[in-house]
Amino acid sequence: MAVIVQKYGGSSVADAQKIMNVARRVAETTAGGHRLVVVVSAMGKTTDSLVALAHQITPTPDPRETDMLLATGEQVTIALLAMALHSLGFKARSFTGAQVGLVTDAAHTKARIRRIGGERVRAALEAGEIVIVAGFQGVSPDNEITTLGRGGSDLTGVALAVALPADVCEIYTDVDGVYTADPNVVPDARKLPRISYDEMLEMASLGAKVLQSRSVEFAKKYGVPVHVRSTFKADPGTLVTREDSGMEEAVVTSVTHDRNQAKVSILRVPDRPGVAAQVFGAVADQNIVVDMIVQNISRDGFTDMSFTLPRGDRARSVAALEDVARRVGAEGVQFNDRVAKISIVGVGMRSHSGVAARMFAVLSKEGVNIQMISTSEIAVSCVVDDKYAELAVRALHEAFELGRER
């Protein structure tokens, strides 16, 4: 008898009818004799609405109180799904993150999992109950409610699958698998039947929100197969697993975009040892992860530094940097919220040259100016003006021949 973890995202549980639909799918899975743990997200766009609500009160909400607020979203869904299963005649019980012993560090709004007890989950499964767990939330060693970063219910699902352990972690969402690009942006994007952890990790960290990047990291570390499928259609979906010979060997397998970025620059910084450490130390102290960093050539002893970061962290990072700018004698701080990061990803890049040059040529042909560039072993990313994001993705998808009619 297999133990299966199924995770249902916000759009899959957006209203009462959809929750009933999920309850029926869950019931069908148990009919196969499997034991089931179901992780759910907040209904629809609840988390976005809660974030917006907090920002109506203050531009810089306190991280602890933010977690207190956001964790309520998932708690609504677990209770409703348990009721839905009861109404179908099934034994089911809902649990918060704290109740299943999902212990994290104290980094509010982006906490990292330290351990999962899981005793109550095992006991409930043993008693023949369907277990329903609130995604995205945990508890710190000091008994504070924490959340795992946006999209964090995926991580709850994968982490529970590791802890129990489960045979597979199924991620049910509003698309029927992982595609060569966001199918909502590129109509002829192609579904990938299988994808390696490494490619999926790169795609996820570069903005393909179908899976949260930390969930992929976790799955890779512990070798849990992750199966991305549609909540609404019976479709085999995409299996995220170890790289093997059955996978595509294309140089580029996907185009990814992230429109949730901001660019921050600190201008005319004195160019002397220790300044970069002070600048980025101040940002790191706010628990903000910066991404691309560019430092210009120094002229007359001063230089400009720019970097990108998640847009939600921009206000706090600018506040911290204005302080540093005064201390080190820089001219000031500028930011731009209208940037997007466009990336091409593929393990084939390890053994091919000229891929980045081709990407730049495609963007240039479309008249898209590149503001920043970064590369990794299996990806190339460019920061561009946000208004060109979709155009750039479609042009690259076509130029690298990723569409259906190959």
Site string for ligand ASP, 54-73 (x = CB under 6 A): -------------------x
Give 86 or 191: the residue with its C-beta nearer to Mg ion: 191
Asked if 151 interacts with Mg ion (CB under 5 A), we say yes
Asked if 157 interacts with ligand ASP (CB under 6 A), we say no
174 contact choice in Mg ion, ligand ASP, ligand ADP, none (CB below 5 to 8 Å, kind-dependent): ligand ADP
Task: Give the strands of the sheet with 130-134, arranged side by side.
Answer: 92-95, 130-134, 35-40, 3-8, 168-173, 226-230, 238-241, 194-196
Tokens at 183, concatenated: 């199918």
Asked if 47 interacts with ligand ASP (CB under 6 A), we say yes
Region of 27-35, 147-155, 223-231, 357-365 interacting with Mg ion (CB under 5 A): 147-155
CB atoms under 10 Å from CB of 62, counted, come to 12
CB of 309 to ligand ASP, least distance (A): 18
Helix (H, G, I), strand (E, B) or coil at 202: helix
Listed in sequence order, the residues at least 6 apart from 56 whose beta carbon sits closer than 8 Å to its beta carbon are: none
316 contact choice in ligand ASP, ligand ADP, Mg ion, none (CB below 5 to 8 Å, kind-dependent): none
**For residue 29, with 0-12 CB atoms within 10 Å meaning exposed, 13-18 middle and 19 or more buried, which class applies?**
middle
Q: Where are the alpha helices (DSSP H) in 299-354?
A: 314-328
Listed in sequence order, the residues at least 6 apart from 58 whose beta carbon sits closer than 8 Å to its beta carbon are: none
Q: CA-to-CA distance for 341 and 209, rounded, in angstroms?
A: 13
Closest by alpha carbon to 163, among 220, 118, 194, 226?
118
CB of 68 to ligand ADP, least distance (A): 22
271 contact choice in ligand ADP, Mg ion, ligand ASP, none (CB below 5 to 8 Å, kind-dependent): none
Asked if 42 interacts with ligand ASP (CB under 6 A), we say yes
- Using the rule CB under 6 A, which residue among 8, 90, 95, 136 binds ligand ASP? 136
Asked if 149 interacts with Mg ion (CB under 5 A), we say no
Asked if 41 interacts with ligand ASP (CB under 6 A), we say yes
- What does the binding site for Mg ion look like in residue numbers (CB under 5 A)? 9, 151
